[in-house]
Structure 1
Amino acid sequence: MAWFKRTQKGIQTPTEEKKDVPKGLWYKSPTGKIVDAEQLESNFYVSPEDGYHVRIGSNEYFKILFDDNEFEELDKNMTSKDPLEFTDTKKYTERLKAAQDKTGLKDAVRTAVGKSKGKDLVIACMDFQFIGGSMGSVVGEKIARAAEYSLNNRVPFMMISKSGGARMMEAALSLMQMAKTSVRLAQLADAGIPYISLATDPTTGGTTASFAMLGDINISEPGALIGFAGPRVVKDTTGKDLPKDFQTAEFLKEHGFLDFIVKRSELKNQVNLYLDLIGNQPVRV
């Protein structure tokens, strides 16, 4: 029974000598699958066992879509003002500063031009980690300017949406971005310049009601949540039970809101296949 008796009381190893497991070595998907972080990154941030697409931001999408991750960022230093002097529990300016410090981003969208499979492409990509990817004046202005760059240089435009909707701290100024961006996209359509819209998880609110659903081709990643209002609001408004998997990418494709769903590993090839087809170019493999 001496085996069960301690010969020394207290902690055996001094606290300063204990080593914690570094954070970020493993990722657990919603279905409970455990993935090594390096394996996850090499697999386009998709869980290999269940196909779950982990949320990623502009850094990762640019790396996936631009050749050799080489691009020129547009309007890189544009930041929001606070014309409404909005204050809730914290001043809007303080929220912006905190988000910028935490994420290293200026706002919830980055725009860039580079080559994808050897041909020019302009991409605007939203970052959900910046105040929930909310759409404020800077988001609308940068998307509009990116579309204008596409128009002036006759370069295809791609929008990657990931947003909780309008930014409440900018009130009506935020809602005005829906019209601004829609006008620019209409100009692209009139000029015959391709616009591809990729809806990722989540794409909701004013983004869905404007640029996210105005593509010449609307695509999505598997399992993405896409909708205007949340399911609870829709159910309370209609007074009806909602169908299974309501507002998923698969449900929307089945009902004609999406053209196709593409796995992240196939995204670059599929986008360029579409651009080659409408541009009447030989397909690049």
Structure 2
Amino acid sequence: MADKNKPQDGKPQPEKRGGWLSRFAPGVRKIVTRRDTPDNLWVKDPDSGEMLFRADLETSLWVTPSGRHMRIGAKDRLRFTFDEGRYEQLPTPEVPEDPLKFSDGKPYRERLAAARKGTGARDAMAIGVGEIGGVPAVALVQDFKFMGGSLGMAAGEAFIAAARAAIERDCPLVCFTAAGGARMQEGALSLMQMARTTLAIQELKDAVLPYVVVLTDPTTGGVTASYAMLGDVHLAEPGALIGFAGPRVIETTIREKLPPGFQRAEYLQEKGMVDRVVPRGELPKVLADVLSILMGGRRKAA
């Protein structure tokens, strides 16, 4: 019996193509094929669960319709802060990597490499120099995306470099904080940065230069216990979590329910720990006013 699938005349059969659409109208297939959609075209609102168009979020400075001030990286922060988005980025000092040869199931060097690949930065701090409302200033930004903005040797050295850059340029220092605490992979060397950054702030005070802190979500741990709370003026973004230990840790320790909004920026403003809560879109103007007043007082003192 002849094989039904085998050609009877021995001649090669034409290669079968796709469906009828591709046979009769090859050009149409390219038109109707589903276009690839970028994975990051939409962003989910953490509060409402609504999907937000990324371009709209960028236009609104990453503030959602529900009012949530989403976390942003150092480049966006510097661009939003300085006049016309123009600034000079200063290099941050290099430090010894993995001095303790630390591993918590994954070597510290591998964690650093992953964070650098994900953010494009060497570490959690970035320094920019420019003008805010016409006032020359140095801005230091802590990026929570880089290992939770943790305070390690590199961050400590960057803070000192920013303070000394402000002194050299005779201008104020603005610090945007965002951290989960000290970097445990560096042990006591990380904790030492609390004292070192405090001394750098003292150098600013000796030079009679303003130091302004903008607390963003979240600012916790050793950062709150050091340079985040040593400013001449403390501003905060709406809804920012600010504290030393987290709310769940406190509730577990004292075995009591915390008040509504505890450790949030608005609650801390009410208690006098924060001077003013400022929406992101208004921050450049408020910073310009604060720096202008403080620098004017500084000139009179000089």
Structure 2 residue corresponding to 1:226, chosen from 231, 239, 242: 242
Gap regions ≥5 residues in structure 2: 1-20, 23-28, 298-302
Deviation at 1:205, TM superposition (A): 0.4
CA contact (8 A) 2:215 2:234 kept: yes
Taking structure 2 as the reference length, the TM-score comes to 0.83
Structure 1 CA distance for aligned equivalents of residues 249 and 206 of structure 2: 36
Deviation at 1:115, TM superposition (A): 1.8
Structure 1 residue 178 corresponds to structure 2 residue 194 = yes
Structure 2 residue corresponding to 1:41, chosen from 50, 58, 82: 58
Q: Partner of 1:137 in structure 2?
A: 153
Q: Partner of 1:146 in structure 2?
A: 162
* Residues 80/263 of structure 1: CA separation in 2 closer, same or farther (3 Å cut): farther
Deviation at 1:18, TM superposition (A): 4.0
Structure 1 CA distance for aligned equivalents of residues 83 and 95 of structure 2: 28
**Percentage of identical aligned residues:** 43
Instruction: Summarize deviations over 1:29-67 as a string: whole Å, max 9, x none.
Output: 2232443211111111111x3221111011111111112
Q: Partner of 1:4 in structure 2?
A: none
Structure 1 residue corresponding to 2:282, chosen from 263, 266, 269: 266
Instruction: Summarize deviations over 1:181-235 as a string: whole Å, max 9, x none.
Output: 0111122123221111011011110111111111100110000111101112212
Structure 2 residue corresponding to 1:101, chosen from 103, 106, 117: 117
Q: Partner of 2:216 in structure 1?
A: 200
Runs of 4+ in structure 1 off by over 3 angstroms are: 16-21
Q: What's the Cα RMSD here?
A: 2.1
Structure 2 CA distance for aligned equivalents of residues 79 and 69 of structure 1: 29
Structure 1 CA distance for aligned equivalents of residues 100 and 189 of structure 2: 9
Q: Partner of 2:7 in structure 1?
A: none
| Amino acid paired to 2:193 | Q
Q: Partner of 1:254 in structure 2?
A: 270
CA contact (8 A) 2:150 2:179 kept: yes
| Amino acid paired to 1:249 | A
Count of residues in Structure 1 that have an aligned counterpart in Structure 2: 269
CA contact (8 A) 1:165 1:206 kept: yes
Q: Partner of 1:163 in structure 2?
A: 179
Deviation at 1:154, TM superposition (A): 1.6
- State the secondary structure of the residue aligned to 1:41: helix
Deviation at 1:239, TM superposition (A): 3.3
Matches within 5 A, 1:72-91: 72-76=88-92, 78=94, 80-91=96-107
Structure 2 residue corresponding to 1:244, chosen from 254, 260, 272: 260
Q: Partner of 1:26 in structure 2?
A: 42
| Amino acid paired to 2:281 | S
Structure 1 CA distance for aligned equivalents of residues 235 and 180 of structure 2: 18
Structure 1 residue 216 corresponds to structure 2 residue 199 = no
| Amino acid paired to 1:132 | G
Structure 1 CA distance for aligned equivalents of residues 93 and 193 of structure 2: 19
CA contact (8 A) 1:218 1:260 kept: yes
CA contact (8 A) 2:92 2:161 kept: no
Structure 2 CA distance for aligned equivalents of residues 188 and 138 of structure 1: 20
Deviation at 1:80, TM superposition (A): 4.9
CA contact (8 A) 1:80 1:107 kept: no
Deviation at 1:26, TM superposition (A): 2.3
Structure 2 CA distance for aligned equivalents of residues 214 and 263 of structure 1: 22
The more displaced of 108-117 and 259-268 is 108-117
Structure 2 residue corresponding to 1:114, chosen from 121, 130, 135: 130
Structure 1 residue 69 corresponds to structure 2 residue 76 = no
Q: Partner of 1:5 in structure 2?
A: none
Gap regions ≥5 residues in structure 1: 1-11
Taking structure 1 as the reference length, the TM-score comes to 0.88
- State the secondary structure of the residue aligned to 2:296: coil
Structure 1 CA distance for aligned equivalents of residues 175 and 163 of structure 2: 9
